[in-house]
């Protein structure tokens, strides 16, 4: 085969390992979504720590919709309805009243986006910590 043939074979092996790992992960994820016959409840992989998470989810959804950065593979911008469906898939939570939550979100008087502000503060703090760590070396 020669030098190039050996390299191509190595890349094919690596690609096959990646495909196998992705298939295994997809099967595991599918197993987590299956319903338990005794409980009839969907099992999910991710849970929110907070009990008041629906408004946090709404903050994330509105932020993603307003920055207009998420698109479907067909090239269509994802809207609130699409993102709510994705949230249901990932977190197992149905936010069927998302229009009502959106109105409550924009009617807030004290602080419009407390969850997103906490996220921004955490990111900035981590960035400061990493820059400080680099300066010490």
Q: What is the pLDDT of residues 99-131, one digit of tens each?
A: 999 999 999 988 899 999 999 999 999 999 888
pTM of the complete model: 0.61
Q: How far apart are CA 18 and CA 44, in angstroms?
A: 24
- State percent of the chain over pLDDT 70: 74
Q: pLDDT at residue 1 above 50? A: no
Q: How many CB atoms lie within 10 A of CB 59?
A: 21
User: How many degrees, rounded to 5, is the angle at CA 103 between CA 94 and CA 90?
Assistant: 25
Which tops the pLDDT comparison, 5 or 87?
87
pLDDT by residue (tens digit) across 37-75?
545 556 677 788 888 889 999 999 999 999 998 898 889
Q: Which residues pair with 71 in a beta bridge?
A: 77
- Residue-level pLDDT at 7: 54
- Residue-level pLDDT at 66: 92
Q: How far apart are CA 128 and CA 137, in angstroms?
A: 15
| pLDDT, mean over the chain | 79
Check: CB of residue 32 under 8 Å from CB of residue 45. yes
Check: CB of residue 82 under 8 Å from CB of residue 45. no
- Residue-level pLDDT at 26: 67
């Amino acid at each position: 085969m020669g030098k190039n043939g050996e390299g191509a074979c190595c890349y094919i092996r690596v690609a096959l390992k990646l495909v196998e790992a992705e298939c295994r992960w997809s099967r595991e994820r599918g197993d987590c979504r299956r319903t338990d016959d005794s409980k009839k409840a969907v099992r999910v992989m991710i849970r929110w720590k907070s009990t008041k998470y629906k408004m946090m989810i709404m903050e994330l959804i509105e932020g993603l919709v307003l920055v207009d950065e998420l698109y479907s593979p067909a090239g269509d911008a994802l809207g609130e309805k699409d993102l709510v469906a994705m949230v249901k898939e990932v977190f197992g939570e149905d936010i069927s009243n998302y229009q009502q939550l959106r109105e409550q979100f924009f009617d807030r008087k004290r602080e419009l986006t407390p969850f997103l502000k906490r996220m921004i503060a955490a990111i900035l703090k981590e960035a400061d910590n990493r820059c400080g760590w680099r300066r010490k070396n």
